[in-house]
């Protein structure tokens, strides 16, 4: 290419693939550089390989979900929202369906089908793919992009898109390369942190029940007696502490309050009923199982594996006969069933996060085009930006929407 490509895309994740495809569709000459041997490695991990591509929520709900990045996301969601994404996937043979809470998955329930559709999109629009090609830097002259330096040499281009992702799951290729490239042009990188993450706890007994899911529970995070976040759903004990959808859902709030004092996670096993109603049920169980071990009664309210541990936190021998349990002991059990408490000692490392918080400062990027406000021809899309959403398809939609808008804007 004598005069260089119209667009050089760095990174073959969802954002990079969408941008390349869209620019190609508009007749632009595009090369996509991916440092791995394959594109979309992280995409394949999404929703345990099922790939929650987007959500059917409305634009206002999406904007709210991105919190402070919401206003920035308005133009890209306006240009390419979930309906268009689903149509595009469908045109490449991937039908999607909606599950609970508006979550959208491919009918195949296989992330590979989504990646294959995006690869076809690139192929149809004659995008040049260069795999195992790591970009080291972007070159500019007089504040105009002129191309990129790779491990194999210089590739000229009039526009360059940085779509290198965040910092989580580095084995997928997301190792934060884009931050260094952007900061070499004076871009500000907002402090990065794990935005959707699990927590370690001081209580080591969790290890004994690792892998035990607890369903339909209310998870509440508190600090100095104040509630900082709450979510109803499923949690999971792990060898280090606690994880699971309900915990991940409130993890950003917990992260924001980290370092401001001890954080406790309370589990209400029966959120639908009052302590008084639960006590009535407990008394009933105890009366009808008087000759049996108290463990049998408690197992009606929590998973069986958890019963002995819950009783030990109350100082009650699991083999004690139900009829011998005192009123004081029953009160203690009630307290634990309505609020078993774990003390957060740490968060898991960013490498284990579902999404990276922080990244390229949005104030320095034009939201209507995704172009840098500092360097002409430099664009950004996807998780490398300071954008993150909750679980439920919000992060992939952000990658697809910002990628589409960048590919739609390059001249």
Q: How many residues bind ligand FAD (CB under 6 A)?
A: 38
Q: Does 383 bind ligand FAD (CB under 6 A)?
A: yes
Minimum CB distance to ligand FAD, residue 13 (Å): 2
Label each residue of the chain as H, E or C: CCCCECEEEECCCHHHHHHHHHHHHCCCCEEEECCCCCCCHHHHHHHHHCCCCEECCCHHHHHHHCHHHHHHHHHHHHHCCHHHHHHHHHHCCCCEEECHHHEEEECCCCHHHHHHHHHHHHHHCCCEEECCCCEEEEEEECCEEEEEEECCEEEEECCEEECCCCCCCHHHCCCCHHHHHHHCCCCCEEEEEECCCCEEECCHHHHHHCCCEEEEEEEEEEECCEEEEEEEEEEEECCCEEECHHHHHHHHHHHHHCCCCCEEEEEECCCCCCHHHHHHHHHHHHHHCCCCEHHHHHCCCCCHHHHHHHHHHCCCCCCCEHHHCCHHHHHHHHHHHHHEEEEEEEECCHHHCCCEEEEECHHHECCCCCEECCCECEEECHHHECCCCCCCCHHHHHHHHHHHHHHHHCC
7-15, 202-210, 243-251, 254-262 -> range binding ligand FAD (CB under 6 A): 7-15
Q: Does 82 bind ligand FAD (CB under 6 A)?
A: no
Minimum CB distance to ligand FAD, residue 193 (Å): 15
For ligand FAD, the binding residue among 76, 96, 159, 174 (CB under 6 A) is: 174
Q: Does 355 bind ligand FAD (CB under 6 A)?
A: yes
For ligand FAD, the binding residue among 7, 23, 47, 360 (CB under 6 A) is: 47
For ligand FAD, the binding residue among 4, 7, 21, 52 (CB under 6 A) is: 52
Q: Which is nearer to ligand FAD, 310 or 354 (CB)?
A: 354
Minimum CB distance to ligand FAD, residue 281 (Å): 37
Q: Does 173 bind ligand FAD (CB under 6 A)?
A: yes
Minimum CB distance to ligand FAD, residue 206 (Å): 21
Q: Does 357 bind ligand FAD (CB under 6 A)?
A: no
Q: Does 194 bind ligand FAD (CB under 6 A)?
A: no
45-53, 214-222, 271-279, 289-297 -> range binding ligand FAD (CB under 6 A): 45-53
Contact flags string 9-28 toward ligand FAD, x per CB under 6 A: -xxxxxxx------------
For ligand FAD, the binding residue among 22, 42, 231, 270 (CB under 6 A) is: 42
Provide the binding-site residues for ligand FAD, judged by CB under 6 A. 10-16, 33-36, 41-43, 45-47, 51-52, 134-135, 163-165, 168-169, 173-174, 177, 354-355, 382-383, 393-396, 399
């Amino acid at each position: 290419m004598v005069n260089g490509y119209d667009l050089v895309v760095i990174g073959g994740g969802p954002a990079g693939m969408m941008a390349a495809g869209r620019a190609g569709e508009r007749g632009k000459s595009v090369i996509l550089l991916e440092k791995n041997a394959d594109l979309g490695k992280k995409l394949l991990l999404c929703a345990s390989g099922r790939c929650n591509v987007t959500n059917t929520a409305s634009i206002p709900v999406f904007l709210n979900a991105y919190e402070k990045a919401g206003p920035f996301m308005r133009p890209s969601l306006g240009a390419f929202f979930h309906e268009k994404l689903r149509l595009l996937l469908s045109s490449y043979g991937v039908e999607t369906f909606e599950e609970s809470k508006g979550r959208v998955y491919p009918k195949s329930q296989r992330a590979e089908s989504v990646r294959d559709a995006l690869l076809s999109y690139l192929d149809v629009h004659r995008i040049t793919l260069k795999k195992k090609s790591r970009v080291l830097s972007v070159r500019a002259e007089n504040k105009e992009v002129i191309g990129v330096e790779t491990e194999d040499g210089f590739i000229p281009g009039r526009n360059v898109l940085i779509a290198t992702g965040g910092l989580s799951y580095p084995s997928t290729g997301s190792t934060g390369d884009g931050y260094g490239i952007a900061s070499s042009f004076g871009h500000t990188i907002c402090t990065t942190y794990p935005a959707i993450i699990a927590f370690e706890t001081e209580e080591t007994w969790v290890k004994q029940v690792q892998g035990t899911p607890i369903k339909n529970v209310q998870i509440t995070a508190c600090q100095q007696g104040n509630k900082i976040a709450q979510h109803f759903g499923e949690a999971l004990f792990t060898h280090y502490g606690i994880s699971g959808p309900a915990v991940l859902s409130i993890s950003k709030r917990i992260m924001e309050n980290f370092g401001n004092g001890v954080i406790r996670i309370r589990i209400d096993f029966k959120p639908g009923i009052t302590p008084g109603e639960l006590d009535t049920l407990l008394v009933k169980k105890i009366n009808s199982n008087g000759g049996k071990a108290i463990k049998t009664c408690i197992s009606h309210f929590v998973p069986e594996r958890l019963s002995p541990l819950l009783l030990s936190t109350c100082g009650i021998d699991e083999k004690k006969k139900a009829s011998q349990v005192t009123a004081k002991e029953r009160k203690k059990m009630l307290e634990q069933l309505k609020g078993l408490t774990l003390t957060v000692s740490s968060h898991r490392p960013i490498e284990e996060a579902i999404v990276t918080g922080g990244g390229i400062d949005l104030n320095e990027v034009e939201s209507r085009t995704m172009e840098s406000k500092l360097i002409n021809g430099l664009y950004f899309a996807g998780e490398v930006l300071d954008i993150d959403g909750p679980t439920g398809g919000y992060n992939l939609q952000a990658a697809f929407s910002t990628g589409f808008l960048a590919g739609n804007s390059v001249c």
